[in-house]
Amino acid sequence: MSPKTNSKPAKLLFIFFFLSSFTCSLLSSPQQDPEMVAHFIDVGQGDATLLEFPCGAILIDTGAQDNNYVSDLINYLNSFFNRRTDLNRTIETIFITHNHQDHTMGLKKIVLAFNVKRIVHNGKVGSNGTGNLCWAIRNKDKYKLSIESVTYDKVTSSGNKSGYTDLLVDPIICETCDPKIEILSGGFKKNPGWNAGDYSTPNNHSLVIRVDFGESSFLFTGDLEAKAIEKVLKYYDSGLTSHNRIFDVDVYRVGHHGSKNATTVELLDAMTPELAIISVGIWNSGQGSKGGRTAYSFGHPRKETIDFLSLSIAKLRNSPILAKVATDVREFMDYEIKKAIYATAWDKDIKLTAWLDGRIKIASDH
């Protein structure tokens, strides 16, 4: 007769491994829920937004107010890649909405410092920018850059009303999620019937970019002004009794740093945003000087824009804030911001986390 074996240690071992696996599953399940983080980086009077996905990152604009803010932008990206070592210091695509200094000033240094794969622009490279976009185009072979221009004609080719995308525009395909990146408008090759001033301003040729992460959605309009906003809304609204839902988004990156001519009632009605983010400089930066590309000299953001946003947005800020808003160039007043309107001037670097089910959480350095 064989001796009786004691199965108790084996049972205890089984229970231990079962409980360990169960515990690990509980601990890891939140991490398995894919996230997108939108980093609205404080670059003073300029625009730079980093979109972080589980398997890659893109940049929308690389602007800065001055060289000090360019250094801040590079430092922010360095810190980001030190955390996300899996991305190998790689930016999949940089979008340049239009070739103005406050949207391009950091481009050259970013290309030199990081592995940039693609650049998408609006097809209008000859303007009063810093020349960084032209430099990138000239040196595309040296730095192995794939470059594409996306014009309004390309977006709307054959009557397309679904937005334009391809592998340069939307290179992000992750195992756990597939974000959707589309361009809704670009540079106009010919005058749509505007006056000379409206057509000549590079702002009206800005890329308009929609990003969807599951049920969470974002709209970036560059510095698009009222005339172009009207044109683009009309195109997508043709033949419909209400605005095409292509503009209906959760998060609006407010156009032209909160300028009075870049956020219209019609656009807000089409978007019905829950949150608004303004990339803008500190109100009194440059105070006492006659010129300069500052929020003070331009009068950004304008009170009327904040009024429009406050009426359109129902959601409240995490906490109210007393901010300075402009009534004109070089004229500012105190304004209590209660609605979910955030700005780099008041909140510094802003991080917005989005999940596939439509949940959105915002945090700032304020």
Q: Which tokens go with 69? A: 């803010």
Of the chain, the percentage scoring pLDDT greater than 90 comes to 83
Asked whether residue 156 carries a pLDDT value surpassing 70, the answer given is yes
Determine whether 103 is exposed, middle or buried from the number of CB atoms within 10 Å of its CB (0-12, 13-18, 19+): buried
pLDDT at residue 181 in the model: 98
| Contact yes or no for 219/209 (Cβ under 8 A) | yes
Instruction: Please give the residue that has the higher pLDDT: either 67 or 242.
Output: 67
Asked whether residue 216 carries a pLDDT value surpassing 60, the answer given is yes
The residues spanned by each domain of the chain are 34-364
Q: How confident is the model at residue 233 (pLDDT cuts 50, 70, 90)?
A: very high
For 173-182, 236-245, 289-298, which range has the lowest pLDDT when averaged over its residues? Answer: 236-245
Q: How confident is the model at residue 25 (pLDDT cuts 50, 70, 90)?
A: very low
Strand bridging mode 115-121 / 90-96: parallel
pLDDT per position as a tens digit, 9-20? 444 444 444 444
What are the Cα distances from residue 182, in Å, to 157, 160, 278? 14, 12, 21
Asked whether residue 241 carries a pLDDT value surpassing 60, the answer given is no
pLDDT at residue 19 in the model: 43
Q: Which CATH class for the 34-364 domain?
A: alpha beta
Q: Which tokens go with 5? A: 């074996």
CA distance 285 to 102: 15
Tell me which residue of 169, 268, 165, 179 sits closest to 221, measured CA to CA: 268
CA distance 188 to 80: 35
Q: How confident is the model at residue 131 (pLDDT cuts 50, 70, 90)?
A: confident
Residue 242 phi/psi, 5-degree rounding, is -140, 165
- Mean pLDDT estimate for the chain: 89
Q: How confident is the model at residue 128 (pLDDT cuts 50, 70, 90)?
A: low
